[in-house]
Amino acid sequence: MNAFRSRIVHVIETAPLDWVYFEDGVLLVQDGIVRDIGPAERFEKEGFDLSQCDWRPNDLLIPGFIDTHVHSPQIDVIASWSPRLLDWLDRYTFPAELKFADEAYATAAADDFINGLLAAGTTTAMVFVTSFLAATDALFEAARMRGMRLIAGKVLMDQNVPAALCDTAQQGVDDSRYLIEKWHGKDRLGYAVSPRFAISSSRAQLRAAGDLFREFPGTWIQTHLSEDREEIARVREVHPYARDYLDVYEQNGLVNDRAVFGHGLYLSDSELERLATAGGKLAFCPSSNLFLGSGLLDMERIRSAGVDISIATDVGGGTGLSMLKTLGDAYKVCQLRGYSLEAMDAFAMATLGNARAMGLDSCIGNLEPGKEADFIFLSPPDGSILGRRLDLCLSVEEELFVYMMLGDEGVISETFVGGRTMKRIR
């Protein structure tokens, strides 16, 4: 049994939003699972010896972050100048993903990617790898070794990308099936059937992806949807039979409550309504949308349409793996849309909300007893302006707001996965 004593905050309900803060809290972890959480005073009254706690009175202990949309090979293309999405894919992303045909390269990069997530305080992610089976294997292995809960998939793409990145509808299914049988449900791992986006998959491949998902009902689906105006126009040319972007996926059995769609910036009222009815989720990727100039998501409109919205980095369109920076960018995007995102709402999205979007809230997302012990400590670097600003905070909401506006990897002082430390900076 491990005991941690700190200031602790976690979200216990997303709608309506509800959270708990312990100014002096204790978290008990046994065999990778949260056994108990509460005020130190209660533990003391119950005869618990508080001196055995790992005590960090000034830190803030919170659940590990969850990233619902990120590309592991794209750690190599973060910060690559480009006017727009399609140009950026052609110029940097596809060439970078081609390097992942080399197994040794892919294995080293998988390690760096997972370490990057953990350094940023992200303990679970839904990850696009690339089209190579061995590269996908390497990523699952890197997560398994660390006991992480991770969902990932080999990217399906059989057209409109460089030939060496293309699979075929059949090869894509064969490779995905192999990976599902090997990894889905093993330890804390899960598989997402991953057609990249409508432009890079033929109708036959999208249909095969939908069929594959139905063959393995516990899996997930991840793809991109309505991210950029030029992209949407191209989808119309590539799939002329469809009435709109969402319909490309609907016609192929890819829209349901296990599907997470990146972006969704330009969805029509009809698409939103159909997405809400089917229970499909969106991943809001503010850093990526700003960096690629894709647009400003109208989160209020999406929420009022009844569509579940998660939040994600979308590295390498996104400019880093830090969910704190992503929340800061989300705030700024919402400001420009006339909506001021509250810190606790943002923080709820990056933890319990994202867990809900992936159907994983019975295992992760907060620190209720019985959940998996994925958590992090936040603390400012010594002598930092951030530290000075935090000292002036009058509430934990204000503190979280300051962290999301000023924080990054540098404030994650330790990351725990299944109760085991993965990284300690200070």
In the complex, the residues that contact ligand GUN under the rule CB under 6 A are 71, 85, 89, 93, 196-197, 224, 227, 288, 314, 317
Q: How far apart are CA 324 and CA 62, in angstroms?
A: 12
Nearer Cβ to Zn ion (222/413): 222
Containing 29, the helix (H) or strand (E) segment is strand 17-30
Nearer Cβ to ligand GUN (85/417): 85
85 binds, options ligand GUN, Zn ion, none, Cβ within 5 to 8 A by partner type: ligand GUN
Least Å distance, CB 75 to ligand GUN, is: 12
Name the nearest CA neighbour of 346 among 293, 407, 391, 423: 407
DSSP-derived 3-state class of residue 105: helix
Q: Give the binding site for Zn ion (CB under 5 A).
A: 262, 314
Nearer Cβ to Zn ion (172/317): 317
Least Å distance, CB 157 to Zn ion, is: 13
Q: How far apart are CA 44 and CA 26, in angstroms?
A: 10
93 binds, options Zn ion, ligand GUN, none, Cβ within 5 to 8 A by partner type: ligand GUN
227 binds, options Zn ion, ligand GUN, none, Cβ within 5 to 8 A by partner type: ligand GUN
β-bridge partners, 149:
124
Q: How far apart are CA 192 and CA 389, in angstroms?
A: 41
196 binds, options ligand GUN, Zn ion, none, Cβ within 5 to 8 A by partner type: ligand GUN
Least Å distance, CB 203 to ligand GUN, is: 17
Nearer Cβ to ligand GUN (141/230): 230
The residue with its CB nearest to ligand GUN is 317
Q: How far apart are CA 250 and CA 273, in angstroms?
A: 13
Least Å distance, CB 94 to Zn ion, is: 13
Least Å distance, CB 257 to Zn ion, is: 20
Nearer Cβ to ligand GUN (5/281): 281
Q: How far apart are CA 382 and CA 373, in angstroms?
A: 27
Nearer Cβ to ligand GUN (190/317): 317
User: Which residue type occupies 389?
Assistant: R
Distances (CA, A) of 33 to 7, 11, 149, 237, 420: 19, 17, 13, 50, 10
Helix axis angle, 169-183 to 133-145, nearest 10°:
20
